[in-house]
Structure 1
Amino acid sequence: MKRVQLQRWSSTVLSPRARTVSRLHQHLYGAGSRCQSTASPLQVDSNAQSNLGDASFEDVELMKHVRSAHKRKGNLKYPSPPVDAAINSAKLAALHARLYLPSRLPPQTLARALVDASADPNADFNNESLATLGHDLLTYYTTEHLLCTYPRLPLTVIFAAMYAYAGPKTLAAMAREWGVEHASLPGGEVDPGLLQFRRVEPGTDIDATPNARTPRPYAAQKAWRMTVTSKIFYDDEFGDAFKGPATSGEGVTAELASATFVRAVMGAIYLHAGRPAAKRFFEQHFLSRHLNISELFNFSQPARDLARLCARENFEPPVARIISETGRKSRHPVFVVGIFSGQDKLGEGAGASLIEARERAALSALKGWYLYSPLNVRVPSSMEEEGAASWKPVYVDLGEVIV
C-alpha cells in the first residue's frame, strides 16, 4: 500500500487530473508539497484551466477557491475594491435592483458611490464628486418644493423642513432602509456592495474635529450671526454654521458616510440617466416621506405676532371672543375661544383657561396664514420636462413678520 502511494506522487505517472490537484495543493500549502513546480500562481491557474476536461467537480471548486484567494491577496494593496470587482458582486446587484435604479447606471458607478473619501483619498475612485452634485440637486429640488408649495413659511420653518427632508439623519435612515451594510474596514478585498469609510477613533470629540469647525472669519462674530439674514448668507441650507469639508484620511461617523452615499447615488443617477430620472428618484424616495409641517412651528408670543401680522396686512385688529365653555367652576373646565378680525374668524382654540384657549386660537390663526398653499403648484424644474406647458409665475409672499 505504501508503494502505491509513493507511485501516485511520481511525476512520470501523474495523470492530468492528478497533476492539476497536485499543483493546486502546492499553491495552497506552499512549495513543501511533494510535487514540485516552478510555475507562477497565474500559470498554475492557466495550467489548471487546460485540464478541466479531466478534473472533477471538487477539483474545479478548489481551483476557483485558489483563484479567488489570489485575487483577494492581490487586492490588498488597494484602498478600495477594484473597478472590475463590481460586476461580480451579488450585494451590489441586489442593491441596484432594490432601489429600481435605471439600467443606464452601471454597477461600477454604484460601487464608487459606496466608497467614502475617508476610505480612498483618490478622487477618481471615491464618491466625493458624486456627492457634491447630489447634494446640490437635493437642496435645489427640496427648496423649490417648499417655497412653491408653502410660499408663506417662515425661514426658520423652512430650515427645519429642509433638514427633515434632506438632512444627514434622514439620509442615514434612508440608507438603512435600503439595506446598505457597513464594512468593518475599507480595503481592496472588501465586497463592493458594502459601504466603506474610515471610522472616527473612539473617544474623539466630533465637534472639535477640523471638518466641524465654523470658518475662521465668522467664528468670532456669533453675536450678530444669530439673525435670520445672517443665516441666509453665511450658514448652510439647514441654517446651521457652515462646516468645512473633511480632509482626506480623517475618520467620519457612520451617519455622515451614509448621508454622503445617498447624495452620491442622486448625483450618479443625474449623470447617467439625466434630469427626469433624477427628479423621479427624488419624488419616489424623498417627497414620498410624510412630514407634518404644522408641528415645526414654535411661536413664543403668538398673540403679539398675530397683531403685527394684521397690522401689516391692513386687517382689523384681532379680537378674542368666547365661542363656548363648559364647567367653568368645575375641576376641569374647557373654554373654546375664537380670534376674529372684524367679521372674519381667523382661528379657534380650546384650553383649560381663557388665556390658554386664546393663545391656541392665535397659534391656529398664524398656522392658517403661514401654511397657505396655492392650487396647481408648479415648480421651476417642471419646465425641464418635454412638452411642458408655458410657465406661469408662482405666488411670492411678502415674507414673515419680523419681530
Structure 2
Amino acid sequence: MKRLQLQRWSSSVLSPRARAGSRLHQQLYSTGLRLQSTASPLQSETSIPDDVEHVDIGDPGMMRHVRRVHKRKTQLQYPSPPVDAAIKSPKLAALHARLYLPSRLPVQTLARTLVDASADRNADFNNEALATLGHDLLTHYTSEHLLCNYPRLPLSVIFAAMYAYVGPKTLAAMTKEWGVDWATVPGGEVDPGLLQFKRIDPGTKVDEVSQLQSPRPYAAQKGWRMTVSSKIFYDDEFGDAIKGSAASNEGVTTEMASATFVRAVMGAIYLHAGRPAAKRFFEQHILSRHLNISELFNFSQPARDLARLCARENFEPPVAKIVSETGRKSRHPVFVVGVFSGQDKLGEGAGASLAEARERAALAALKGWYLYSPLNPRVPSSMEEEGAAPWKPAHVDVGEVIV
C-alpha cells in the first residue's frame, strides 16, 4: 500500500502540470523586484503579475500558493508593513485591548504609530505628524497641571518635573510597560505590532548628530549670561538647548523611537476620539505616576535664600531657635532647630549639629513656601468639558527669588 502511494506521488510530481507549477514557483523566487517608491500602498491578496494570470495551471490550490508566494515577495520591497496587514496582526489587537484604547481608533492608525520616520521616510505612513501633535498635547497638559497645582515652583523644578512626567526616559519606560517589542530591522514583512525604526550605527555619538540651529549657541558664543529668561525663550520644555532629531538615514536610538511612539499614540487618540478621550488617556498613563516634587529641589544656600524671600514678602527676618536637643556631650547628639519669622514658625529641622539643623530648617521653610497648592485647583483645559462651571482665575504667584 505504501509502495502504491509512493508511485502515485512520484507520478504526480512528474506530470506536466506539476512541472509547470514548479517552474513558475522558481521563476517567482528568482525574479528580483526593484523598489520603485518609498510609499507603502495597499496590497490585495489577488495582486499577482500579468504573466501569472495567463498561466493555466489548472489546480486552484497551486494558484493560491502562487498568490501567497508573490504576496510575500512583494512585501519585501516596502520599507514598512502594508496597511491591510494591521487587521490580521494579533499583536496590534492585543495592544489595542491592553491600553483600553477607544473603539474609534482603528488598528491601522495604531500600526502607523509604531513606524518611526527613520524606518519609512514617507510622511503618509510614519508617525512623525502624529508624534508632533501628541508632543504638544502632553507638554500642554503637564505644564498646566504643574502651574495650577503648584504656582510657586521655581522654574528649574518645573523643568525637572516636566522631564519626569513626559521626558523621553519616562516615555521609553512606558513603552516597555505596555509590552511593545522592537523589530530587529524594519521592513514590509515585519509584524505591524512591532516598533520599527532604524538604529544608529554602533560607536556613533548621539551628541554629534545633526542639530537644529537655535539662538542659544550664538548667545553662548557672545558670552551672554544664561539666565532664567533665556531658558524660557531659547530652550525646550525641559530647559535643555533645542536640538534637532537625527536625520532619517542616520537612525535613532531606542529611547527616541519609544518616546516618539507614545507621543504618536496620544496624537492618534486626539484625532480619532477627541479631546475628552485624550485627556482621560493622559490622566490614566501620565498623571497616575507618583512624583515626589519635594525631592526635586536643590538649594545651595537655603538660609540666604530664605532671608531674601522674607525681605521680598515684607516678613520679619528669619531667626533660628533651638526647639529641643538631646545628647549634646555624647557621641550622637541631636538638635531640633526651628526658623521663626516673628511669632510664626516657618520650618523645622533636625541634625547632628546646630549648623546642620539650621540648614534643614531653612530648607523645610523654603519647600513649605514653594510647594503651596491652592484648594480645588482647576486647569484651563477643564473648560472644554461639557457642563463645566464658570472659570475662576488661577492663582498667579510673583515668582521665585532670583539670586
My pick for the range that moved more, 218-227 or 100-109, is: 218-227
My pick for the range that moved more, 1-10 or 133-142, is: 1-10
CA contact (8 A) 1:310 1:316 kept: yes
Q: Distance in 1 between matches of 2:52 and 2:342?
A: 91
Cα offsets for 1:117-166 (capped at 9, x unmatched): 11111111111100000000001000000000000000000000000000
Q: Distance in 2 between matches of 1:233 and 1:271?
A: 29
1:276-355 matched pairs, under 5 angstroms? 276-355=276-355
Query: Counterpart amino acid of 2:259?
Result: A
1:357 aligns with 2:339: no
Other structure's SS at 2:219 match: coil
CA contact (8 A) 2:216 2:235 kept: no
Aligned to 2:70: 70
**Cα distance, 1:227 vs structure 2:** 1.2
**Cα distance, 1:95 vs structure 2:** 0.8
Aligned to 1:219: 217
Aligned to 2:38: none
Unaligned runs of 5+ in 2: 30-48
1:108-187 matched pairs, under 5 angstroms? 108-187=108-187
Name the CA shift for 1:67/1:353 in 2 (closer, same or farther; >3 Å). farther
Q: Distance in 1 between matches of 2:397 and 2:130?
A: 35
Q: Distance in 2 between matches of 1:144 and 1:391?
A: 15
Name the CA shift for 1:47/1:116 in 2 (closer, same or farther; >3 Å). farther
Cα offsets for 1:329-363 (capped at 9, x unmatched): 11110000000011111000000000000000000
Aligned to 1:16: none
Q: Distance in 2 between matches of 1:287 and 1:281?
A: 9
Other structure's SS at 1:335 match: strand
Name the CA shift for 1:67/1:4 in 2 (closer, same or farther; >3 Å). closer
Name the CA shift for 1:382/1:29 in 2 (closer, same or farther; >3 Å). same
Query: Counterpart amino acid of 1:179?
Result: G
Name the CA shift for 1:262/1:369 in 2 (closer, same or farther; >3 Å). same
Cα offsets for 1:184-203 (capped at 9, x unmatched): 11111111111111100111
CA contact (8 A) 1:180 1:195 kept: yes
Name the CA shift for 1:274/1:333 in 2 (closer, same or farther; >3 Å). same
**Cα distance, 1:8 vs structure 2:** 4.0
TM-score (norm 1): 0.87
CA contact (8 A) 2:21 2:57 kept: no
Q: Distance in 1 between matches of 2:57 and 2:395?
A: 70
Other structure's SS at 2:183 match: coil
Name the CA shift for 1:46/1:266 in 2 (closer, same or farther; >3 Å). farther
Name the CA shift for 1:314/1:75 in 2 (closer, same or farther; >3 Å). same
Q: Distance in 1 between matches of 2:184 and 2:92?
A: 17
**% identical aligned pairs:** 75
Q: Distance in 1 between matches of 2:198 and 2:28?
A: 37
CA contact (8 A) 1:45 1:63 kept: no
Name the CA shift for 1:284/1:336 in 2 (closer, same or farther; >3 Å). same
Aligned to 1:103: 103
Q: Distance in 2 between matches of 1:79 and 1:338?
A: 66
Q: Distance in 1 between matches of 2:277 and 2:314?
A: 46
CA contact (8 A) 1:24 1:44 kept: no
Q: Distance in 2 between matches of 1:46 and 1:106?
A: 39
**Cα distance, 1:10 vs structure 2:** 6.7
Aligned to 1:15: none
Q: Distance in 2 between matches of 1:137 and 1:157?
A: 21
**Cα distance, 1:70 vs structure 2:** 2.9
CA contact (8 A) 1:326 1:333 kept: yes
Q: Distance in 2 between matches of 1:271 and 1:47?
A: 49
Name the CA shift for 1:42/1:135 in 2 (closer, same or farther; >3 Å). farther
**Cα distance, 1:73 vs structure 2:** 1.4
Other structure's SS at 1:210 match: coil
My pick for the range that moved more, 245-254 or 38-47, is: 38-47
1:23-34 matched pairs, under 5 angstroms? 28=25
Aligned to 2:89: 89
Q: Distance in 1 between matches of 2:274 and 2:57?
A: 43
Q: CA RMSD in A?
A: 2.6
CA contact (8 A) 1:321 1:340 kept: yes
Other structure's SS at 2:347 match: strand
TM-score (norm 2): 0.87
Unaligned runs of 5+ in 1: 13-18, 33-37, 52-58
Q: Distance in 2 between matches of 1:208 and 1:111?
A: 31
Name the CA shift for 1:329/1:89 in 2 (closer, same or farther; >3 Å). same
Number of aligned residue pairs: 378
Aligned to 1:230: 230
Q: Distance in 2 between matches of 1:147 and 1:373?
A: 10
Q: Distance in 2 between matches of 1:158 and 1:31?
A: 60
Q: Distance in 2 between matches of 1:336 and 1:249?
A: 61
Name the CA shift for 1:402/1:217 in 2 (closer, same or farther; >3 Å). closer
**Cα distance, 1:232 vs structure 2:** 0.2
Q: Distance in 1 between matches of 2:306 and 2:368?
A: 11
Other structure's SS at 2:143 match: helix
Aligned to 2:45: none
**Cα distance, 1:42 vs structure 2:** 6.2
**Cα distance, 1:244 vs structure 2:** 1.9
My pick for the range that moved more, 359-368 or 184-193, is: 184-193
